[in-house]
């Protein structure tokens, strides 16, 4: 009898030990799973100082989105000699090298911001670039050949949704509110203007569409913005060549009109939208200073395009794929203010980026981009 009870007691002890071991194993597995879960979450917790960069606009900011749309070579720069200075291959940027946003990303400690339309899996936590060469604030500007501002905003909303799915609502909201939004738009609207509206009415249409776009970004969390104003459009080599070598004052006049109204528009938004901050860069003044006194800024020539043909290189033939195969190419693009008939060289872009990044209030106000990134 005692022997049987002893055996039963042993069985109970063994069963208890196995039960305890199973519990320990279960708790251990749970801890492992929970730790893994925490690690997954922590991967999405970005540093408190992280500031993303989102970019909208036209060829001044396009890093190659137009490589991936059904368009013509007039609106693409994915062929030699574009990109020859820095990248050593054509990226789709309308210059010999980097553009303003590329330098801003560098100054901010970010990688080069990728194109939105490039195929593949994107991570948007550093930002993304929606700009499209030839795009305008008005849908009608080069319609069917470019990604207009309204469509760029639709793409941004998709990115916002993707960030919320990846990071969660709170983290995505924080990222979008800390981010800086760079926008260059309007030049193509004025250059391709086909409207019976007066200059004032037309400028208000452009600025009206820009305002709608800014409010959409604001709704999704955007608070910090950067804007270059219009350069003296009538002094582009393309237009000067058409006028026999002189700037076309009527075209520059509407750029001046735009530049007079844009600060008023931004000031209104500042009053209407809580937390709205911006850097307004006097691109017009910066370009004019270099056109009038190129040697002061390290340029040998601010009249002719480095790459093109005809008078002043004003024929838009750089690369030989836009209907005219012959073109000339200078030896050193850094000596030229203009790389092609419409667009500045990398050297010029770097100077502008330095000004909008850290310039004083005589050239960028009420904030510069460095201040916005640190805010």
By annotation, the residues acting in catalysis are 59, 340, 343
Lookup result for tokens 């050239």: 363
Q: What is the DSSP letter of 170?
A: H
- Of 96, 216, 236, 98, the closest CA to residue 151 belongs to 216
User: If 0-12 CB within 10 Å is exposed, 13-18 middle and 19+ buried, where does residue 139 land?
Assistant: middle
| CA atoms of 365 and 177, how far apart (whole Å) | 20
Q: Which distant-in-sequence residues (6+ apart) come within 8 Å of 62 by Cβ?
A: 92, 93, 94, 99, 129, 131, 132, 133, 135
The structure tokens listed for 17 are 């030990």
The structure tokens listed for 72 are 């013509």
Number of helices and strands in the chain (H, E) = 11, 10
| CA atoms of 335 and 306, how far apart (whole Å) | 9
User: If 0-12 CB within 10 Å is exposed, 13-18 middle and 19+ buried, where does residue 79 land?
Assistant: middle
Angle at 153 between CA 125 and CA 72, to 5 degrees: 105
| CA atoms of 39 and 116, how far apart (whole Å) | 29
State residue 224 phi and psi, 5-degree precision: -120, 120
> How long a stretch of residues is the chain?
375
Residue 177, CA atoms < 13 Å, CB-side half-sphere: 10
The structure tokens listed for 107 are 């100054």
């Amino acid at each position: 009898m005692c022997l049987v009870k002893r055996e039963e007691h042993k069985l109970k002890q063994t069963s208890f030990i196995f039960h305890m071991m199973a519990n320990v194993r279960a708790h251990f597995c749970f801890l492992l799973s929970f730790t893994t879960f925490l690690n997954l979450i922590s991967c999405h917790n970005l540093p408190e100082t992280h500031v993303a960069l989102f970019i909208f606009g036209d060829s001044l900011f396009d890093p190659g989105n137009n490589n991936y749309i059904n368009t013509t070579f007039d609106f693409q720069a994915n062929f030699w000699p574009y990109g020859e200075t820095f990248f050593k291959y054509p990226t789709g940027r309308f210059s010999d090298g980097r553009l303003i946003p590329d330098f801003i990303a560098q100054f901010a400690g970010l990688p080069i911001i990728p194109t939105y339309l490039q195929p593949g899996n994107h991570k948007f936590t550093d930002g993304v670039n929606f700009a499209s060469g030839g795009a305008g604030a008005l849908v009608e500007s080069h319609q069917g050949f470019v990604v207009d501002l309204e469509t760029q905003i639709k793409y941004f909303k998709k990115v916002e949704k993707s960030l919320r799915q990846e990071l969660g609502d709170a983290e995505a909201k924080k990222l979008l509110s800390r981010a800086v939004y760079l926008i260059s738009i309007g030049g193509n609207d004025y250059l391709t203007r086909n409207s019976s509206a007066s200059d004032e009415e037309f400028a208000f249409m452009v600025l009206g569409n820009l305002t709608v776009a800014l409010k959409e970004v604001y709704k999704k969390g955007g608070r910090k913005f950067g804007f270059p104003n219009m350069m003296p459009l009538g002094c582009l080599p393309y237009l000067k060549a058409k006028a026999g070598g002189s700037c076309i004052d009527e075209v520059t006049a509407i750029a001046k009109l735009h530049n007079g109204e844009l600060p008023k528009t931004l000031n209104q938004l500042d009053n209407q939208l809580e937390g709205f901050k911006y850097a307004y860069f006097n691109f017009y003044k910066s370009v004019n200073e270099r056109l009038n006194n190129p040697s002061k800024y390290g340029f040998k020539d601010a009249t002719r395009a480095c790459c093109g043909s005809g008078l002043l290189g004003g024929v838009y033939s750089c690369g030989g794929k836009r209907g005219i195969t012959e073109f000339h190419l200078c030896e050193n693009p850094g000596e030229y203010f203009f790389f092609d008939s419409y667009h500045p060289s990398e050297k010029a872009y770097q100077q502008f980026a330095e000004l909008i990044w850290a310039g004083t209030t005589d050239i960028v106000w009420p904030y510069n981009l460095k201040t916005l990134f640190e805010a």
